[in-house]
Amino acid sequence: MVKQITDKLGRPIRDLRLSVTDRCNFRCDYCMPKEIFGDDFVFLPKDELLTFSEMERIARVYTRLGVKKIRITGGEPLMRRDLYKLIAALNEIDGVEDIGLTT
């Protein structure tokens, strides 16, 4: 039996946040303050982003450790091509009860 993952206070961790991209088509002050994300900010090269199969593997590992909810974030996650394929794959994982998308 796999031990459930907990935080420093012993509480079970039930949520996993997957950031599918660091890019965004807006420059809102909340997510991308100019002090950090100025005109010279360099985003990750696309080949350094996790692939969808890598994200699915991570999700499978964490659901075995007790995660029930997966939140997909970014940047702007809808900028990631074929995002629906990742969502469909995550939806097939046993133990996932909720998938959210923060845009």
pTM confidence score: 0.88
Distance from C-alpha of 56 to C-alpha of 68, rounded to nearest angstrom: 14
Tens of pLDDT, residue by residue, the chain (103 residues): 678 999 999 999 999 999 999 988 887 887 788 888 888 888 899 999 999 999 999 999 999 999 999 999 988 999 999 999 999 999 999 999 999 999 8
Strand boundaries in 6-102, DSSP class E = 15-19, 69-73, 98-101
pLDDT of residue 1: 62
